[in-house]
Every structure is written in structure tokens, then in C-alpha cells.
Amino acid sequence: METYSRPPARTWLVPLAAVALLIVGLWPTLEVLGSRWLILDQSYSHGFLILAASIVLVVRKWLRGPPSIGLFSFWLLPLLLAAVVHLAGAVLLIEALQQLAILPLVVGTLLLVWGWRQTTAFLLPIGLLAFAIPVWDYLSWPLQLITVEVNQFFLSRLDIEFFVEGVVVYFPGVGAFEIAHGCSGLRYLLVGLTLTTLYGELNYKTVRSRCYLIVAGTLLALVANWVRVFVIIYIGYESNMSSPLINQHDYFGWWVFTATLVPLFFIALKLENREVFTGRVQTTVVDDRSQAPGWLSILGVVFLPILLFSVAGWSASFPEQDTVSGQKNSPLASVVDDGSWLPLFQNSLQSWKPIIERPDRYRVDVYELTAKEKVFGEEQIKLLTGLYVYEFQRPGGELVNYNNRLYDSSMLFPEKTFEIDAGNGLTLPGIELKYRWTGDRIHVAYGYYVEGRWESDELKAKLAQIPGILNKRTDASLLVAGVSCEQCDGEKLLQHLLPDLRKQAETQLDARYESGR
């Protein structure tokens, strides 16, 4: 069958214009993605470097033989399916779905104008960006649990008294270490995957060698994190929590990771030497089923669906908000309805308060107990209550995200966790926090109220957002209560207070958002 190829001067115009239009439609999602890449102490700070490497590899492939322009309408269906996934994420306010659809949309667009045989050469250079998309966060919790198990195994071989609860390692009389999100090893894993994939693309001819190197890089990245966490825990225990390494562990971690690159590159060199060199003649491959489309066909089949997606993407990314005055738009009220608590002109409790970014509404109150009840003793007791509300979830404004934290881990660390009976058969989590320098303690209880339902952990709170499209209620809130006292039982005090605080918050939020059901 006769094949069709446009002049070289035009080979770049159609795919570049199609991808540019797609970027316009994806811009709200890409803007949030770029903001994650700019946060240097998170797992995706290498995003712009990966983007630059991807562009260089794509240009390199292009210069070796520009693909010919064709019209491969078979790939319109997968492209539309990827667009549906992205729009569903925008409507359901699930950021992960929108981010997952980015690469399928870009690749689907190129398949539409290049076909499969020509696009395959560009799959890896473009796919490299997968290591910079924040959907890998879902691996963080399993990696945390694995890190806990490995360090529990190492510590059990030493003459050290300790016990593990969840992701927290407790040393009685010394302190506790929380193996948090940043200790999961996700950052090292993603960097290791990126380096090995890029090295394989530049130096290897066979898929087997690339897979061997990626597996080796993955294992060494995990080992680097396990060693880092173990050394920090052990030195912290031996120094009675006074070693500067405890607060400067990020730099130490990268030194350990760098050390693991030495054996990795020895493995890479050995694999490279084992490969049998086979020269490859660079030719421009054209799918033999391509036909000579007119510009009108290209505009109709390629650009019109992408244009419609762009318009829909922008519309779905900015949900209509209720601007009618009334109960929904009135200020939040205090969740404390007890005259024995005297309000103070403060917004933190001993310099502690939750770190919650960009809530639509919030209220933080600090109180001091005036009525001296025997159950609490005769000392000074202070209470902080916080209610943080997101009226709808969207990129950059979600209740559950990496930037929202109960406490600043550079100031406080968890001593133990506990459970609180919040009434109506509901159990909410609590945590005892200790200041690193003073040894003072704060007891905190918290719960997530998502679309009229209480949840006790972040994962369940995240999943509870999904039914919002069905019940028309999209609000998600965090209720936090913290108490500070020297001699009283903070856990017992929260057990006394939380049922009423939970009820006050629930009643107030239902009055605002129940009508949306």
C-alpha cells in the first residue's frame, strides 16, 4: 500500500500543536504538579530534572529520524478513554486520577498522528516522567511498614529494650521514633528508578540488561533507606535523643544513598560489558497502514477532540461554588460549649497547632480551665480546638495531602498513641506528643468528617471523598483537640471532652452542608 509522508518542515507541526493544545486543557493539573516539584524536601523535587531529561531524549530520538505524519484513527478510542479518566478525576475531585491520565493523554495524542511503530521509540523518553507524577505516594505506607519490620529485625539483635506500635518505635525512658512518610524511602526509590532507567536507555541495547539494572537500583535504594533509618534510631538511642543527627538526617540520608551508587555503577558497567554490540541502522519507520490524510481530516480527528477535552478540563477543574448568603457562608462557631473554659487571645498551644494549608474555612481557639474539677486536679490546664473545612476537594486544596500535618516533626515527636471513645460508638485516634528540647507533652485527639461521615485515618478519609458525586455533599473537615498540663492525665481529659466537641462540630457542619445531599 502506498505510504504517505509530509515534508520534513511540517513533521513537527502537527504533534507539537496537538500536545500544546493538550497542555492547555491539562493546565490546572499541571500547575499543581509543578508546585509539588518545587517543594525541595519532598519525594518529587527531581521533577523538573526529569522533565528536562525527557525533552532531551525526545529531541535526540527526533533528530535520528523524524516520524512521518499519518492519521491512525484506531488510537482515538484509547485517547478518549484517557480523557474520560481525567475528567472523572476532575468531577469526583480525585487528584490522583487526573495525574494518572497525563501520560496516557500525551502518548495517545502521538499515537493518533504517528501510529504504534513510530511512537514506540518515544515511549521510554516520555514515560520517564512517570517517576515524577505524585501517584507513587500510595506506596509510602507499605514502604513504611517494610522499613519498620526491617529495623525491628535489626534492633532485636541488639541488647536494647524497645517495642513497636504501628510506625512508631518506642524506647522506654528514652523516647520514640516515628518512621513517617519521609522515612519510607520513597524519595530514594524514585531517584534510583529514574537513574537506572535513564542509564539503561543511554547505554543498553537489550531489555534484559535494563531490567537487571532497574531491579538492582530498586533494591539498593531500599537498602540505603533501611540503613539510614537504623543508624539514626540507634544513634538517637545511644545519645539519649541528643545527637544532632536526629534533626539533620536528610543530609545523612543522601550520603548513604550516594554510597549505594558505587556498587550500582559497578553492576551497570558489568552489564554493559556483557552486552554484545549490535549496530542499528537508523531509519524512519512508517506504519504501512497510514493513509494520506487531508488537513481537514487532521483538524477534525486530532484537534477537535483535544479542543473539546481542553474546554471540559478547565470547566471541571473549577466547580461552581455556592455564593448565596446564609448559614453556609457564615463564620465557623466554636466547638466548645462549656462556660468553665475561658477563651485566650492565642492561636497556638505551647507553640503547637496543626499545619493545615489553604482550608476554605477554619477556626482555632485556645482556652484555659477556670472551674477546678477534682477529676482534673488543681493545676493550669489549657485546651486548643481546631476545625478546618474544605468545602470541596480540588488540586492544591485537599484535606488529606502531604503538606497537612498534625504537628511539626522538627519540634515534636510521638511518645505513644491511644484511642478515644467519641460517643455514638465512634472511636477516634489520639497521640501523645513530646517536645524535643523541653520534654513537655501535649495530648492530641483528632478525626476526619467527610461528607457527613467520621473517619479515623487518612486513607479512609481519602476514600470517603469518592461518593460525593452521588450524595452532592463535598465537604471534608478535620477536628483537632489538644490539651496541655503538667500533672493531669491528658488522655483522660480528652476522653471527657471529645464526645461533646465531636457533637458540636458535627451539628455545625451538618447544618451548613446537609442541604447539599
pLDDT tens column, 21-38: 888 888 888 888 888 888
Q: Alpha-carbon distance 8 to 294, whole Å?
A: 17
Are residue 360 and residue 419 in the same domain, yes or no? Answer: yes
pLDDT at 427: 92
pLDDT at 307: 52
Q: Are 141 and 126 in contact (CB under 8 A)?
A: no
- Cα 23 off chain centre by: 22
Residue range 453-461: mean pLDDT, rounded: 84
Does residue 411 register a pLDDT over 60?
yes
Give domain status of residue 371, yes or no: yes
Under DSSP, is residue 373 helix (H, G, I), strand (E, B) or coil?
A: coil
Q: Alpha-carbon distance 252 to 240, whole Å?
A: 19
Local confidence band at 446 (pLDDT 50, 70, 90 cut-offs): very high
Does residue 290 register a pLDDT over 60?
no
Give domain status of residue 156, yes or no: yes
Q: Which domain holds residue 74?
A: 8-115+292-317
Other CB atoms within 10 A of residue 99 CB: 21
- Distance separating the N- and C-terminal Cα atoms of the chain: 59
pLDDT at 103: 93
Give domain status of residue 392, yes or no: yes
Q: Alpha-carbon distance 95 to 395, whole Å?
A: 6
Per-residue pLDDT tens over the stretch 45-65: 889 999 999 999 998 888 888
> What does the H/E/C string look like for 157-205?
CCCCCCEEECCEEEECCCEEEECCHHHCCHHHHHHHHHHHHHHHHHHCC
Other CB atoms within 10 A of residue 59 CB: 11
Q: Which residue, chain included where needed, has cell 534510631?
A: 233
Pairing label, strands 426-435, 453-455: unpaired
CA–CA–CA angle 292, 297, 303 (5° rounding)? 125
Does residue 184 register a pLDDT over 90?
no
Number of domains in the chain: 3
Are residue 359 and residue 453 in the same domain, yes or no? Answer: yes
Q: Alpha-carbon distance 419 to 427, whole Å?
A: 6
Q: Alpha-carbon distance 474 to 451, whole Å?
A: 6
Give domain status of residue 126, yes or no: no
pLDDT at 216: 94
Are residue 479 and residue 341 in the same domain, yes or no? Answer: yes
Please give the model's pTM, rounded to 2 decimal places: 0.70
Local confidence band at 329 (pLDDT 50, 70, 90 cut-offs): low
Q: Choose between 254 and 277: higher pLDDT.
A: 254
Are residue 429 and residue 305 in the same domain, yes or no? Answer: no
Whole-number percent of the chain with pLDDT over 70:
82
Per-residue pLDDT tens over the stretch 127-181: 999 999 988 887 887 898 899 999 999 998 888 888 887 777 888 777 777 787 7
Are residue 82 and residue 147 in the same domain, yes or no? Answer: no
Residue range 259-288: mean pLDDT, rounded: 69
pLDDT at 469: 57
Give domain status of residue 279, yes or no: no
The packing angle between helices 186-203 and 116-127, to 10°, is 140
Under DSSP, is residue 349 helix (H, G, I), strand (E, B) or coil?
A: strand
Which DSSP string do the residues of 93-119 spell out, in sequence order? Answer: T-HHHHHHTHHHHHHHHHHHHH-HHHH
In DSSP terms, 361 is beta-bridged to 389
pLDDT at 489: 87
Q: How many helices (H) and strands (E) in the chain?
A: 15, 11
Q: Alpha-carbon distance 398 to 394, whole Å?
A: 6
Does residue 210 register a pLDDT over 80?
yes
pLDDT at 283: 43
Are residue 465 and residue 353 in the same domain, yes or no? Answer: yes
Give domain status of residue 453, yes or no: yes
pLDDT at 384: 94
Task: Out of 258, 283, 317, pick the residue that ends a domain.
Answer: 317
Q: Are 446 and 478 in contact (CB under 8 A)?
A: yes
Cell of 327: 448559614
Are residue 226 and residue 106 in the same domain, yes or no? Answer: no
Are residue 89 and residue 40 in the same domain, yes or no? Answer: yes
Q: Are 221 and 188 in contact (CB under 8 A)?
A: yes
What's the mean pLDDT when you consider all of the chain? 80
Give domain status of residue 283, yes or no: no
pLDDT at 435: 86
Are residue 381 and residue 468 in the same domain, yes or no? Answer: yes
Are residue 60 and residue 207 in the same domain, yes or no? Answer: no
pLDDT at 396: 64
Does residue 235 register a pLDDT over 80?
yes
Local confidence band at 221 (pLDDT 50, 70, 90 cut-offs): very high
28 CB-near residues (< 8 Å, 6+ apart): 90, 313, 314, 317, 318, 395
Task: Out of 274, 308, 342, pick the residue that ends a domain.
Answer: 274
Give domain status of residue 224, yes or no: yes
46 CB-near residues (< 8 Å, 6+ apart): 37, 131, 132, 190, 191, 194
Q: Choose between 66 and 188: higher pLDDT.
A: 188
Does residue 438 register a pLDDT over 90?
no
Are residue 305 and residue 190 in the same domain, yes or no? Answer: no
Q: Are 101 and 37 in contact (CB under 8 A)?
A: no
Task: Out of 243, 274, 305, pick the residue that ends a domain.
Answer: 274
Are residue 96 and residue 150 in the same domain, yes or no? Answer: no
* DSSP code at position 301: I
Does residue 504 register a pLDDT over 90?
yes
Q: Are 30 and 23 in contact (CB under 8 A)?
A: yes
pLDDT at 281: 40
**What's the order of all strands across the beta sheet hosting 163-165?**
163-165, 168-171, 175-178
pLDDT at 443: 94
